[in-house]
Amino acid sequence: MLPSGRRLAETRSGHEKTLLSRQIEATDEQIDGLVRELYGLTAEEIEIVKETTA
């Protein structure tokens, strides 16, 4: 994540910024999914977490 964030900050091309932003979002979602799985969260608990962090 950190190298992608640095590249995003350094990128000047709009297209490349969009691609990097999408990559970062996808990676973030994967991490969130792994954490939810690790803690065995229910669908209800996941919604609570999403609401409080949005």
Mean pLDDT (the chain, rounded): 87
For the entire predicted model, the pTM comes to: 0.67
Higher pLDDT, 11 or 22: 22
**pLDDT, mean of residues 3-10:** 74
**pLDDT, mean of residues 35-50:** 94
- What are the helix and strand counts (H, E) for the chain? 3, 0
Amino acid at 20: L
Instruction: Output b/e per residue, 23-47; b: 16+ Cβ within 10 A.
Output: eeeeeeeeeeeeeeeeeeeeeeeee
* Contact (CB, 8 A) for 31 and 39: no
Q: Residue written as tokens 């640095």?
A: 6
Which band of pLDDT confidence, cut at 50, 70 and 90, is reported for residue 34?
A: very high
Tokens describing residue 36: 């939810």
